[in-house]
Structure 1
């Protein structure tokens, strides 16, 4: 006798209440094993792959890609006894009582976190799961496509399944030039064939594309990372009194040291960027001005000083801005920081940063210089008290020993919470960071 279990959307990080279904990795009729990845979802923090806690056969998918569902909602049904080997006594309750898997069954799985008690969920239109099957497996539903994302060009990421990508490559068709005709803008084989034959693909409807020809406007739903980032920035901007200070620094000695280290055996194969030097400078300067690494606890009416630096690095990704952390960055050498930064940014750009990797930061660096920008007034991340913006390094006329010379110059801007950090402390910290970048040898005096 079949034994059915329903797999619920679980809380992948503390306090999350909902997630968007991105892509299914299974379809009805597929056999699954314990801890097999069955679905990719996007939460307010990141894209996450969810494993299933049982082995069996998938009988039904309850939600479609693109739908938003609340935590605890059954999204998939599995027959865990497809061969009828379980005893009738064991199978009967599962068939009549489609309860979600017990919390202790879920804890060992990768990708699951504890659900915050008493979390309030806002009312919303969400997917309504189908009732659990009673005596027979439901008819298989159509398999949901799992679009594969590639490196974006100009902010656009074409969506297409692997066979379609291969066909496009074989026919010499650039997927970036196509508009997908399937739901959600997914590119199909017909789209590729039409492009190869010189025919235009049919335009998406207004509903599918979000574009209204009458107003010449396109509307995109605010979801996932973008939605969470917006809420966090508004909260920070209106709850923490921001102060921003600026400093222009001659970093010629730092750039000379960088070139020297890149040629050394120790840094062979290491991507040593100016950001690594900035990260090291922040960690050293924070020891002398611990206030920038503290946080205001409104509920307890306390300032919490952290004896560690969990350094956040703001990274732009196709899904929006994310801020993964380098844990205990203050304990790492320059080389270790450089390696950690490379790994962190590579994972972020692939959209694989886990929710856990973005929790618990104490200080953040945002590298606006990578976009050719000189400076800015960054907004502090909630739960922190300061953020440093690192600008582009430019060849600039600079006075050295009374003479004008061309030097490597960059601008720094520090935003800090004036409840925790006074002007003197913020200025001293920024000056220390600037001094370390202007002359890395100063580090031996700290």
Structure 2
């Protein structure tokens, strides 16, 4: 699906000065949230877009002209860049684009950043096993990727998982991998739980892994691994009886912020897992005779400031409710002591955060209970002050990335079940971060 210069249009839509690049056709999202099927990443040189059909395109960061296009073996759901080498044997001088997939093979593939040519491929299905059903939820899925280092010391970290169910028997198979810039696997950490997030500390010495579902022998929502060896250093858990444990993790120095699905709270942990503070976020709350809750899905911590993002309202007795949890779809920041710093509405479901230069970027998709198109936007917030802005879309924002003042967002079309019309298109938007 190569694109010509004519595919790039001047931004005259609801996102103002953003430039837009059509990405072709995709199945229209509905009232409920669809699985992750798009990815975007921004560097000094390129804007990289990954699509539901595996198409990966590198656009020039300035002109947005196509530099190269390739096709990933699976749905392209994650993109990162790995710094290149210094001319030594088996290490490329050029940067490497690493794409994570969801599909039959759960492929991780490295592409040359200049040409798009494949450098190496690793199929995580060999670690987590073949799917027992050919439906998206059962396919091998690389849920998170991190990169660190340069040259021969460059390394890529990935968490991959697969789910299966046989009657009442539900199982997860998962592996955390460290892979060198040459594609060699350095270590593996395997469990029977479902990883949802990873984060590397600034020194590149520890890797935090958040586990969302713990159905088997593995019983810890957070495990901190030695980044060089993969050996566990310490673990932590909210201590809740349900199988849900952690939604996201984020390092801040030697501390780790955790968004807990188990008790719907936010935590800041010190070395070894010592609890420094916790805050109520989406905890069970009575509203008009119903007990409601909302999951804290994301967290970012830096320089003593921690921001959590919550998701949809759910009722304890039923998934359907006309009421709303008071903290649904909000971003809330806290200082180093756990005291409130600022909070704001994100209004729609956030698939994932990206952060650059102290700015948190949140692609906000539909609110499936309210079904208000005004929730469709990318929103950004200064971590220190909460000030920011937004770009509105007709469709839903499902992936976003920020780098050096530039934000890139993928919009997907959506059709609410009670409206009978399609809103938006499958489009890549690129524009500046500005305050409203």
Which structure: larger Rg?
A: 1
**Greater fraction helix:** 1
**TM-score interval (norm. to shorter):** under 0.3
Q: Which has the higher contact order (CA 8 A, sep 6+)?
A: 1
After TM superposition, the score normalised by the length of structure 2 is 0.23
